[in-house]
Amino acid sequence: MPDETTSSEIVVDPAPHAAWLPDGALAAAGRRRVAVVGPPDDEVLVTVRREAERATSAYGGAVVGPDDSPDILLEASSVLDSSSNGLNKDHVSTLDVESGFRIVRDGGRVTVTAATATALLHGWFHVVRLGETAFTGPDVDERHAPAFALRVLDHWDNVDVHPVMGQVERGYSGGSIFYADGRVRDDLSRVTAYARLLAATGVDRVCINNVNVHAREARLLTDDLPEVARVAAALRPYGVRTHLAVSFAAPMTLGGLTTSDPLDDDVRAWWRAAADRVWAAVPDFGGFVVKADSEGQPGPFAYGRDHADGANLLAEAVAPHDGVVHWRAFVYDHAQDWRDRSTDRARAAYDHFAPLDGRFADNVVVQVKHGPIDFQTREAVSPVLAGMPATRLALELQVTQEYTGQQRHACYLAPWWSENLGFRPWGESADGAAVRDVVAGRGPSAPAAVADAGGGGIAAVSNVGDDRFWTGHPLAQANLYAFGRLAWDPTLDPAAILDEWVGLTFAGPDGGVEPRVREALHAVLDDSWRTYESYTAPLGVGFMVRPGHHYGPDVDGYEYTPWGTYHFADRDGIGVDRTRATGTGFTGQYPAPWRDVYEDLATCPDELLLFFHHVPYTHVLRSGVTVVQHVYDTHFAGVERVREAVAAWESLADLVPGALPPDVDARVRERLAEQLRSAVEWRDQLNTYFFRKSGIPDAHGRTIH
């Protein structure tokens, strides 16, 4: 499918789409008199002032001095202490003090204060988000601070176009915003525009290359440092720090050593020197991201060492610079024999990592995919998140829609992420602690080092490319926005975030949004993740996608492969027995109550039934229908839901041009048409597969092929 609109009637504006920061979004703040106070040579403070100028020059306000009765006073000062930004240092973390801001509305006048210019910039965008409501209503005095100290977007961008994975691995939005023609782009203005969008959500760190570090990409760490410094300089004005994914084999492949053994003194010295050079080139560099001993990437296993040895090697190298190592827990056997039913990929991360709890250095963050398998539309929450109390853990999400429709399907993922963040691994015990508490460093029995560091935070694979709309599907922008907002405040309601995104993205010149546009976007997106789930793999079984590119249905595509992703369908039933009683024992990796809730067929939630149990097609779900009837019902219903989404969008036709820009409309229509085609294909293949396997007809006599 082409990534650019080809219709000859549409005049495509070559400038990148404004996403959630069109001028209209700045209208309310832009009508005001704004004063900016802070260290004048601070690069981010210069940005705050520029943002204020941009908004006010478009809308008739003005940038004024602090004594000229501003409507908005923005004040950053490194000498601001706990009392002046409204925070009492005895009762709040460093995170609140350094990254938070205070907003006071007093008789319609708004004052934002923060200890750093970056926090002030986040405060400015908070005012932008509020629109007119920032200035109306009763007086307020609020403190806002991010829930997580580390809020990272990982880019799986390659410098060279990879023969199989392309320029951006699992990218569905054109090329890379960082690289083209085998090198860092000359023009990085798009990178700065990206940083601006991120700053408006609160994300402040970006890893700029793929975790699969190929030979060309490995050199970013050495020869290409001046180029990395250029990227960092493009991100820095918006307070976004740069990280690099590095290869564990770098001491050999780049350094000419004969080993990469983490306990070897020459290897340690090589990494220390490498880190010193990185920080010399990029003084505010963030740290390294590592995928080791996973899907063919090199790692410590080659030397009989474990992941703690490997991670601590790099931690030692970056520690003098206050750097962080994000070490991924996505480790499993990708050369499994499908005949072997005792090996369970779901178990792998916990089996590898949980025994290492307590051995990781303080500046190591173990980055854990939300589910034990691989970013599926539905899977259980990874038990690793409950199994390493003494380790800084980060939750890893996938904004890029590898398994959720590849930005051809509208699939708003915030409800899914929100479920994961709110999952309570210990049920009501442990004070009801949820995943979001664990990754904030507030899990049960978190030692001081984990709590003081604010835990490991959150990371996600970005969905952005050089596509005009950034994300291929214009509505996939909502996922990037929602990730940033949940990374700041994981308790936000996904529907409210969507509403906020609509309010900004579709703001007309006066700042308002046409109510029908708002309504239609909610109709298309609010439940789109559940709709997607309903016409794809059922009941948490996962992986019925076409092998390799992972788009479209292929029920048995992965069934006899080495990847460890099986559903075990036969003529009688389907699902993976992960119980302790008769299966792989995976349920035993959870604490109570889930180890028992999942173990028992009578209590296992329907939506995860096939993730935990192998059952007959005639098994009656808690919903009252059989498994096979559930497959038929949800697949028929899912296609109808997509038809409704298409109709909701088409009902806006009279608003084009006007409230709805023609190019956005054209791209969304093209994507919705493909979504409908694909949903029908999923429905027909899945229903036919299950009918042929089971021989059980649809209770309602609908057409199955």
DSSP assignment of 42-78, as one string?
-HHHHHHHHHHHHHHHHHT-EE--TTS--SEEEEE-T
Q: What is the β-pairing status of strands 62-63 and 101-106?
A: unpaired
154 belongs to the binding site for ligand GCW (CB under 6 A) = no
Residue 572 designated active-site:
no
Nearer to ligand GCW, 271 or 330 (CB): 330
Tokens of 627: 């498994």
217 belongs to the binding site for ligand GCW (CB under 6 A) = no
Q: At what angle do helices 528-535 and 627-650 cross, to 10 degrees?
A: 130
157 belongs to the binding site for ligand GCW (CB under 6 A) = no
Place of tokens 């009508």: 31
**411 closest CA partner among 526, 491, 495:** 526
Binding residues for ligand GCW restricted to 568-607, rule: CB under 6 A: none
> Please, what is the minimum distance in Å from the beta carbon of residue 369 to ligand GCW?
7
Tokens of 274: 């490498």
> Please, what is the minimum distance in Å from the beta carbon of residue 674 to ligand GCW?
21
> Please, what is the minimum distance in Å from the beta carbon of residue 344 to ligand GCW?
18
> Please, what is the minimum distance in Å from the beta carbon of residue 294 to ligand GCW?
6
170 belongs to the binding site for ligand GCW (CB under 6 A) = yes
Q: Cβ distance 210 to 217 under 8 Å? A: yes
Which of the residues 4, 223, 295, 340 is marked catalytic? 295
Place of tokens 């400038």: 15
649 belongs to the binding site for ligand GCW (CB under 6 A) = no
Binding mask 455-494 for ligand GCW (x = CB under 6 A): ----------------------------------------
Tokens of 685: 């293949």
Helix (H, G, I), strand (E, B) or coil at 700: coil
- The number of beta carbons lying within 10 Å of the beta carbon of residue 700 is 9
> Please, what is the minimum distance in Å from the beta carbon of residue 157 to ligand GCW?
11
Nearer to ligand GCW, 459 or 504 (CB): 459
Alpha-carbon span 530 to 416, nearest angstrom? 9
Binding mask 350-389 for ligand GCW (x = CB under 6 A): ------------------------xx--------------
Residue 402 designated active-site:
yes
> Please, what is the minimum distance in Å from the beta carbon of residue 438 to ligand GCW?
20
Alpha-carbon span 544 to 263, nearest angstrom? 42
Q: What is the β-pairing status of strands 615-616 and 241-245?
A: unpaired
75 belongs to the binding site for ligand GCW (CB under 6 A) = no
169 belongs to the binding site for ligand GCW (CB under 6 A) = yes
Residue 125, Cβ density class (10 Å: 0-12 exposed, 13-18 middle, ≥19 buried): buried
- How many residues make contact with ligand GCW (CB under 6 A)? 11
Residue 433, Cβ density class (10 Å: 0-12 exposed, 13-18 middle, ≥19 buried): buried
Q: Cβ distance 587 to 564 under 8 Å? A: no
> Please, what is the minimum distance in Å from the beta carbon of residue 375 to ligand GCW?
5
Among 96, 309, 402, 607, binds ligand GCW (CB under 6 A): 402
Among 156, 179, 350, 691, binds ligand GCW (CB under 6 A): 156
DSSP code, position 92? S
209 belongs to the binding site for ligand GCW (CB under 6 A) = no
Catalytically active residues, by annotation: 295, 374, 402
| Residue ranges binding ligand GCW (CB under 6 A) | 156, 169-170, 211-212, 291, 295, 330, 374-375, 402
